[in-house]
Amino acid sequence: MCTAWLVVAGTQMIQTTGDMARFGSILFQIITPLQLTLILFLSAVYSASSVAQEKDKKTFILLLLTRLTNRELVLGRLFASLLQVIVLVAVSAPVLMLIVLFGGVAFTQVGWALAVTTVSAFAAGSLGSVVALWREKTFQTLALTTMLLVSWIGGWEALAFVGSLSDLPVLQWLASICSPSRAILNTTNPMVASGFPGELLGFCLVGLGLTAALNAIAIAFVRVWNPGREVRMHQAEQATEATIWSDIPTVTGTEAEGEITKEASETQREAHVDARVRQVDTQSREVWDNPVLWREMRTWAYGRKILFIRMAYWILAASVSLATWFMVDPTALLGDDPGTVLPPLAKILGPFMLLSLVLINALSVTSITNERDGRSLDLLLVTDLSPKEFLFGKLFGILYVTLDMVVWPVALSGLVWLWGGMTGAHLFYLVIGLLIMYGFVAMLGIHCGASYTNSRQAVAVSLGTVFFLFLGIMTCMYMMISFGSFQGQLTPFLAFIVGGGVGLYVAWGRHNPSPAIFLASGVLPLAMFFVITSFLIGRMLSVFLVMGATYGFATTALMMPALGEYMLAMGRSRTQEEE
C-alpha cells in the first residue's frame, strides 16, 4: 500500500477526491487477488505438508492407534493447520478497511472479499488434506495438490472463455460461482454494494459445499487409505517370518539353570541369521559410482504413483497446448506496443511455466526432507560420500525425475515459434532462461531442505520464495501499468526492494550465512525491478542478460555451502536443536 501510494504521489498530481477514490479502487483490485493467491497457496501447502510430515516420521500410525475418531482426526488436523492462515486473513481486515478511507471502495466489498478468501482457504486446505491422507509420498501430495488447484482455476477460466465465444452466458455464470479468481474480481466491482451479490453468495455456498464433500470423503476413507500398502506389506512379511527361537526345544525344570543341551544349541545355531543360506535366483543390480544419482534415477525413490503425477501433468500440458493453439497469433507475444499490456499468450504460458518451476522445487526440497525424516540423511553424513557426489547426484536426479516438467514448457515454446508466435531470438531467450530457472529452483529446494530441520517449514520457505519472486513480479508489473508512467518509479519501489532483500537473506542465510548469499539476496529484488521495466519498454535482450546473470549467481551462491561445508551445512540446524 505504501509503495503504491508513493508511486501515485511521485508520478501524478492528487488534487480531487476523485483522484483519491481512483487510487483506492485500483489498490483494492491489486491487493485482494494477491491475498487470495497467497491464501490459496498457504492453505493447501500447510494442510498437505502437515499430514505428509506425520507420515514421513511414521507418527501418523500412532494417531490411528488412539481413540481419536475419524472426524476428530481429519478435522482436528485440518483446523490446526489452517489456524495460522485464518489469523492472517483476520489481521488483513483492518488493512483492507483502511482502503475504504481513500474512497472508491465500500465496506460491503471488503466484507465479501474476506468471505471469498476465507471460503477459498477452507476449500484449498480441505483439498490438500484429502490428497495428503490419500497419498504416501510428500512430493506426490504437493504435486497433485498444486495441479488440482491450477486445474480448478484454469478449468473454469477455460469454460468462461468458451462461453464468451459461443455466446452462452450460463457458462460464464457457472465460472463466476465456482472459480475463486472470478469471485474475488467480482468483489472489486463497485456495483456489489448497490445490489444483491448473487454470484458471490453462490460461490460461498459452492465453496462450503466443496469443503464439506472433501472432508466427508476424508473422514470415510482415512482408515482405509492408512496405513499405506507399503506398511501393510511390511507387517505381513514380519508376521509370516519365523523367528530364530521358533524351533528351539523348551528347557525343562529338571535341567540345571544355564544349561543348554547340545541339540538345542545346534538348533539355535542353525536358525541364527548368520547361518542362513539362500540361493539367489535373481541377478542383483549394479550400483553406479555415485549411489545417490543411481537411487534417484534407477529406483522408485518417490513411489510408483509418481507415474500418476506425470499423467496428470501431461493432461494439463495438453490442455495448455490446445489453448495456445487457439490463441496463437504472429503478434500475440509481443503485440504492436509491448510496453502497454501483458501479452495474451503469456497469461497462458506464464502460469504453466510457473507450475513447472513449483513442481521441480517441491521435489527438490522433499528429496532432502524425506531423507531427514526417514533418518537416512544421518547415515549418508557418516559415509565416504563426497559433497560433490551428494549435491550433483541430487540435482541431476531431480531434473531426471521431473524431465516432463522440463521438456514440456521448452517444447511448447518451440511450437509457439513454429506457429509464428515469437521470433527466433525470443525463443532463444525464453529457452535458455527457463533452463537457468530450472537449475535455480532445484538448488533452492535442496538448500532450504538442508537448512531447515522442520519439513513443513522447509517446504513453506522454499515454495514461498518461488511465489515471492514471481508473484511479486506480476504485482509490480500490474502496479506500474495501473498507475501510469514508470520511468521514475525506482525511488517509490526502494522500500519494497530493500524489504524483499532482507526477507530473502533471512530465509536463505539465517542457518548457513555467507557473503555470496548476502549479495545474491540484495541483488535479486533490484535486478527484478530492472527486468520489469526493461520488459515493459520492450528491451528483451536486457531482460535475458540480467535474469541469466542474477539467477546464475544466486544458484552458485546457494550451492557453495553444500559444497564447501557439507557436514556443517547438512547438520548444523539439527545439532543446534539437539543442544
| pLDDT tens digits for range 142-162 | 999 999 998 898 888 888 888
Range picked from 206-215, 479-488, 534-543 for highest mean pLDDT: 206-215
Angle at 107 between CA 102 and CA 112, to 5 degrees: 125
- The answer to the question of residue 194 being in a domain is yes
Using alpha carbons, list the distances in angstroms from residue 424 to 103, 370, 430.
47, 42, 10
- The answer to the question of residue 29 being in a domain is no
Count of structural domains within the chain = 2
CA dihedral 329, 334, 339, 343 (to 10 degrees): 60
Distance, in Å, from the CA atom of 119 to the CA atom of 369, rounded to the nearest integer, reads 31
- Integer distance in angstroms from the first to the last C-alpha of the chain? 42
Between 85 and 158, name the one with better pLDDT: 85
For residue 423, what are the contacts with CB-CB under 8 A and spacing of at least 6?
334, 417
237: amino acid identity, one letter:
E
Are 305 and 427 in a shared domain?
Answer: yes
- The answer to the question of residue 450 being in a domain is yes
Are 350 and 488 in a shared domain?
Answer: yes
Q: pLDDT grade, residue 375 (50/70/90)?
A: confident
Between 232 and 158, name the one with better pLDDT: 158
Q: What pLDDT is attached to residue 145? A: 92
Are 176 and 55 in a shared domain?
Answer: yes
Domain boundary among 187, 213, 228: 228
Q: pLDDT grade, residue 179 (50/70/90)?
A: very high
Numbers of helices and strands, H then E, in the chain:
23, 0
Are 510 and 412 in a shared domain?
Answer: yes
Output 92-95 pairs: Cβ under 8 A, ≥24 positions apart: 92/35, 95/1, 95/31
Q: What pLDDT is attached to residue 76? A: 93
- The mean pLDDT of 459-483, rounded to a whole number, is 80
* Mutual angle of helices 138-166 and 169-178, in 10-degree steps: 150
- Among the residue ranges 128-142, 220-234, 322-336, 496-510, the one predicted with the least confidence is 322-336
Domain boundary among 185, 208, 228: 228
Exposure pattern of 347-359 as b/e (b: 16+ CB <10 Å)? ebbebbbbbbbbb
| CB-count exposure of residue 515 (10 Å: 0-12, 13-18, 19+) | exposed
Cell of 518: 548476502
Mark residue 153 as left, alpha or beta (left: phi above 0; alpha: psi -120 to 50; beta: remaining).
alpha
- The mean pLDDT of 359-371, rounded to a whole number, is 90
Which residue reads 557418516 in cell numbers? 382
Using alpha carbons, list the distances in angstroms from residue 166 to 160, 171, 172, 325.
10, 9, 11, 18
- The answer to the question of residue 463 being in a domain is yes
- The answer to the question of residue 24 being in a domain is no
Distance, in Å, from the CA atom of 236 to the CA atom of 231, rounded to the nearest integer, reads 9
| Whether residue 495 has pLDDT greater than 80 | no
| Whether residue 383 has pLDDT greater than 50 | yes
Are 351 and 472 in a shared domain?
Answer: yes
Cell of 276: 542362513
Q: How far is CA 399 from the centre of its chain?
A: 16
Q: pLDDT grade, residue 268 (50/70/90)?
A: low
Read off the pLDDT of residues 35-74 as tens digits, 9 standing for 90 and up: 999 899 889 989 998 898 888 888 888 888 889 999 999 9
| Whether residue 487 has pLDDT greater than 60 | no
**Is 93 in contact with 114 (CB distance < 8 Å)?**
yes
- The answer to the question of residue 282 being in a domain is no
25: amino acid identity, one letter:
S
**Is 445 in contact with 362 (CB distance < 8 Å)?**
yes
- 3-state helix, strand and coil shares in percent for the chain, rounded to the nearest 5: 80, 0, 20
Are 332 and 208 in a shared domain?
Answer: no
Are 332 and 407 in a shared domain?
Answer: yes
Residue 346: domain span: 295-578
Are 187 and 85 in a shared domain?
Answer: yes
Which residue reads 506425470 in cell numbers? 310
| Whether residue 260 has pLDDT greater than 50 | no
CA dihedral for 531, 317, 419, 325, sign (positive or negative): negative
Q: State the DSSP string of 27-50.
A: HHHHHHHHHHHHHHHHHHHHHHHH
**Is 272 in contact with 105 (CB distance < 8 Å)?**
no
- The answer to the question of residue 433 being in a domain is yes
| Whether residue 253 has pLDDT greater than 70 | no
65: amino acid identity, one letter:
L
User: What's the chain's average pLDDT?
Assistant: 81
- The mean pLDDT of 508-520, rounded to a whole number, is 84
Domain boundary among 205, 228, 251: 228
Backbone phi and psi for residue 78, each to the nearest 5 degrees, phi listed first: -65, -50
- Among the residue ranges 18-32, 113-127, 459-473, 477-491, the one predicted with the least confidence is 477-491
Between 335 and 87, name the one with better pLDDT: 87
**Is 422 in contact with 330 (CB distance < 8 Å)?**
no
Cell of 363: 521435489
- The answer to the question of residue 76 being in a domain is yes
Provide the 10 A C-beta neighbour count for residue 576: 10
Are 222 and 299 in a shared domain?
Answer: no
Provide the 10 A C-beta neighbour count for residue 300: 11
Distance, in Å, from the CA atom of 491 to the CA atom of 503, rounded to the nearest integer, reads 19
Are 67 and 213 in a shared domain?
Answer: yes
